[in-house]
Structure 1
Amino acid sequence: MTQVAIVTGSATGLGAACAVDLASRGWNVAINYTKSRREADETYSKVKAHGVDAILVQADMGQDIDCRKLAEETLKKWGRIDGLINNAGATKFQKSGDLDGFTAEDFDRILWVNVAGPYMMSRAVWPNMKKQWEKSRQRGSIVNISSTAGATGLGSSIPYVASKGALNTLTLTLALWLSPAVRVNAICPGFIQSRWLRDGLGLAEYEKMKQAMEQTTPLRQAGTPEQMAEAALFFLTSASHVTGEILLVDAGNHLGTVPMKGR
């Protein structure tokens, strides 16, 4: 039986990389987008090129009715959901120290998409995953895409940082509540080479940050969407004895710079 995964926010960036990587491993994939239909079509073509099946579902992960629709469309197509990657996210870039840089509405939207969204999607897939566990002991897997912002307090804005900290603790709670039928883990990417970050920071600041990652992190790398997808899929597809873990994926940036000869 071919396994099935939903990847939210999978038109571009990390979400798209997860969808394509899953397809390369033989999974059928439900691709989700809110506005980026052209990019979603491109991701769909890349997924289908691996010989698997896929569907495109437009849905806003800040709306419960849309979360339920995404799960329902997936079940209608394949009759099962084995994996969920909660990747869709929102932010508003805010200059450090500018406490007036966002409104209550901005705060509400960011927390709703980044925290309530993964909760609502997990709730939407839970009945099927529980049923599969009870019927055949096939355990579901959920991976939340968090951020190092939730661990360090540094990120694009205060609401974003707060949302990722909340997502980390939500991961722990869901790992307990959905056990033993479902494993729930999270990855916390650091800098990712992406259009989203480039557009948010501006080209000059983006290139400055990218260069800093390449020169100062222990691995001397600026992360790519594909590298983050590798970590997410480790939890989703391989780590059968792991739940409730939160993994920093930042080339060791959280460790600080360790000078070494020959570098």
Structure 2
Amino acid sequence: MTERKVAIVTGSATGVGAATALLLARRGYDVLINYSKSEVEARQSEAACREAGADTLLLRGDVADDADCKALAQGAVARWGRIDALVNNAGISTFSGAANWDALDAQTFQRIFGVNAVGPFQMVRACAPHLKAAQGAIVNVSSVAGSLGIGSSVPYIASKGAVNSMTLYLARALAPEIRVNAVCPGMITSRWFVDGLGQEGFDKVKALTEQNTALGRASTPEDVADAIVWLIDGARTVTGELLLLDAGLHLGSTRMQVPGKA
């Protein structure tokens, strides 16, 4: 068994997952890099983690498939003999909004729910015995969509609401050995948003975010990674927390009048 701590980060080829894997590597973790489609980017993420001093394992797997989830957990244990942290980051959506109901069907809904909600449950189930032995931590990457009921599509919003509820349940069920928390970002300046919205749509939403949030900015993948790693490594008495990372979006538009503020 390695003396270094070990983390599994699902969906760690790009964006928040890649940023989290790299930050964990810099903090002394060995890291399992997971991807479903983006192999080229996943290899780049792995190379960055190795350059940061981590031993790595690159495994393809679809978290909606229970057998793949078990294989990810088994791969980490076979390689390093332990799992100290699980970051359930893999997620998908369709950017259909609420106006175009015809763009949604049961298959799309079930696929999004399978990756975003069933996937984290399956990963927790596969990793829980090893996390318990390590007195480890789980961080689910959710979204303000699950808290505020706004987002790219109805199935995405529903799936993230499920993740939030599941986080609270698991924090109780897995205590005291395992801490379970979730981060709930707003807009993130990542390729995921550009691919979903197109460059013009991305620029428009980014501008609206900057205009209508208290902090006047969108999050970067590194911003979200900072919070995830803090919940893993620094927040020793925090569990069952749904941490909003939305630059103050939940406070309402800054255009609203605040007494005593110009």
Q: Same fold (TM over 0.5)?
A: yes
Seq. identity, %: 49
Q: Determine the C-alpha separation between the residues in 2 that align with 1:97 and 1:80.
A: 47
Q: 1:101 and 1:159 mapped to 2: Cα distance?
A: 11
Partner of 1:211: 207
Contact 2:139–2:180 at 8 Å: present in 1 too? Answer: yes
Q: Which one of the candidate residues 70, 85, 88 is aligned to 1:86? A: 88
Q: Is the 8 A contact 1:95 1:101 kept in 2?
A: no
> What is the aligned partner in structure 1 of residue 218 from structure 2?
222
- How far does residue 212 in structure 1 lie from its aligned partner after superposition? 1.7
Alignment correspondent of 1:2: 4
Q: TM-score, normalised by structure 1?
A: 0.94
The answer to whether the 8 Å contact 2:167/2:181 transfers is yes
Task: Write the letter of the residue equivalent to 1:177.
Answer: A
> Counterpart in 1 of 2:131?
129
Structure 2 counterpart of 1:186: 182
SS at structure 1 position matched to 2:102: coil
- Please state how far the C-alpha of 1:215 moved relative to its aligned partner: 2.6
Distance across 2 between alignment mates of 1:19 and 1:148: 22
Which of 61, 74, 84 matches 2:63? 61
Unaligned runs of 5+ in 1: 133-137
Shift of 1:183: 0.4
Q: What CA distance in whole angstroms lies between the structure 2 residues aligned with 1:257 and 1:199?
A: 26
In 1: Cα distance, 2:208 partner to 2:182 partner = 25
CA RMSD of aligned residues (A): 1.5
Question: Counterpart in 1 of 2:154?
Answer: 158
Matches for 1:1-263 after TM superposition, within 5 Å: 1-130=3-132, 132=133, 138-258=134-254
Compute the displacement of 1:196 (Å): 1.1
1:216 Cα deviation from its structure 2 partner = 2.5
Q: Deviations over 1:181-235 (max 9, x none)?
A: 1000000000001111111111111101111222321111111000011111111
CA distance in 1 between partners of 2:208 and 2:109 (Å): 29
Letter in 2 for 1:19: A
Q: What's the offset of the Cα at 1:108?
A: 0.6
Query: How many angstroms apart in 2 are the aligned matches of 1:258 and 1:106?
Result: 35
Are the counterparts in 1 of residues 209 and 217 from structure 2 also a CA contact under 8 Å? yes
Partner letter of residue 139 of structure 1?
A: Q
Aligned residue identity for 2:200: A
Is residue 91–residue 156 contact of structure 1 (8 Å, CA) maintained in 2? yes
Structure 2: distance between partners of 1:88 and 1:27: 19
The equivalent of 1:135 in structure 2 is: none
Whether the 8 Å CA contact 1:186–1:246 is kept in 2: the answer is yes
Which whole-Å CA distance do the structure 1 matches of 2:155 and 2:54 have between them? 38
**Which amino acid in 2 is paired with 1:83?**
A
Shift of 1:262: 10
Task: Give the partner amino acid of 2:123.
Answer: M
Count matched residues.
257
CA–CA distance in 2 between the matches of 1:93 and 1:208?
14
Extract unaligned runs of 5+ from structure 2: none
TM-score by length of 2: 0.95
Matched residue type, 1:256: G
Between the aligned partners of 1:10 and 1:24, the Cα distance in structure 2 is 15
> How far apart in 2 are the matches of 1:102 and 1:262?
44
